[in-house]
Amino acid sequence: MTLGNFNRITQDPYVMGGKPCIRGMRLTVGRILSQIGAGETIEELLIDYPYLEREDVLQSLQYAAWLAQGREVALA
């Protein structure tokens, strides 16, 4: 898998400081992931952000998994 596989994840130095965002909007992948990590469901995210689509959230999770596979870091 490559960055090109993520058609809903965009990076623009003029939008949110170049952080990965959802379809060029001012909603970062990190924001989505932190809300999922805090226990919010996909359905709740879709209510909170009516312009967000289920595939946006799923691709954010896939993107995070892809990044996590990039290298191993000792936690202890």
How do residues 36-72 score in pLDDT, each as one tens digit? 999 999 999 999 999 999 999 999 999 999 998 876 5
Query: CA 46 to CA 41: how far, in whole Å?
Result: 9
Pick the more confident residue, 50 or 75.
50
35 CB-near residues (< 8 Å, 6+ apart): 45, 48
Q: Is 10 helix (H, G, I), strand (E, B) or coil?
A: strand
What is the reported pTM? Answer: 0.85
